[in-house]
Amino acid sequence: MKKIYIAGCGGMLGEAFYGQFKDDYELKCTDKDVNASWLSLLDFRHFDAYKNEVITFNPDYLFHLGAYTDLEFCEQNADETYSTNTLAVESAVYLANELDIPLLYISTAGIFDGKKEFYDDWDQPNPLGVYARSKYMGERFVVENAKRYLICRAGWMMGGGPGKDKKFVQKIMKQIKDGKRELFIVNDKDGTPTYTHDFAINLKLLLEKEYWGLYNMVCGGQTSRLEVAQEIISILGIQDKVKINEVSSDYFKSEYFAPRPPSERLINRKLNIRGLNVIRDWNIALKDYLDSYYQDYL
């Protein structure tokens, strides 16, 4: 078996990667938050510890997954964000080059300014806030310095269920679980959901074919926050019990004050051209996600 070292594996994406790769590869999965039996402790911001772990394991691939993704936290803690989301990526590049192995880095649709309706793999990013800038600087460092790499840009991530999902789907599901019968959903934010397991499956395909480079990797179909919320209500069959009120982003400006692009819609142009896009449409993946992780939640 080939070996993969997965740093920052404690979140929703790490859970999917562990599930999709564990049977075919020898894995070493680490995180600063050890929240599963298959994880061990490592804070990848500590370079000497990161180096010792990776060199000792001597993997065939290095996956660098972890990052701060709470935009408000990032705006208020810029130095800690750059340490985690940017400088630690530079460490990962150094280690991958030292071992002469490919590096995986996870980027985001949030690095664009939202002035276009959608973005392909070759569009020029223009990050708006600290989170977006920290991720884009990591992306640039990988492109400019790594010997072999995969950079995969995700959209609105969903996965991991109630225990690991801190994003939009879980926030909606928690409100419903808590008995909310009116939801206030923004009608001015467009994007593309990305199911973690579909993402991991498509990444595995690229890895095994050795198609290195930078790829947009999101579910099919363009949508919005409003449409995703409506689809959740429809899948759950509670249209007659829960009312959705459309609001602008200004409604939440005190809570969500970090700058966000109006459009984070990505298209998987490179994957499509190469005939390697195996990610399902977002509504199909959303139903699979809810069926798989939320059966006994409500």
Burial 5-20 (b: 16+ CB within 10 A, else e): bbbbbbbbbbbbbbeb
In the chain, DSSP finds a helix count (H) and a strand count (E) of 11, 13
* DSSP output for 12-37: HHHHHHHHHHTTTSEEEEEESS--ST
pLDDT at 288: 97
Note whether residue 204 is domain-resident: yes
The values of phi and psi at residue 157, to 5°, are: -70, 140
Decide if 107 is inside a domain: yes
Residues of the chain with pLDDT under 70: none
Query: Considering the entire predicted model, what is its pTM?
Result: 0.95
Q: What is the pLDDT of residue 178?
A: 95
- For residue 176, tell me if it sits in a domain: no
pLDDT on residue 158: 96
CATH number for the domain including 57? 3.40.50.720
Residue 75 lies in a domain: yes
d(CA 64, CA 150): 10
Residue 47 — φ and ψ, nearest 5°?
A: -60, -45
How many domains does the chain contain in total? 1
Give the CB-side neighbour count of residue 9, counting CA atoms within 13 A: 27
131 is in which domain, residue-wise? Answer: 3-165+192-222+262-281
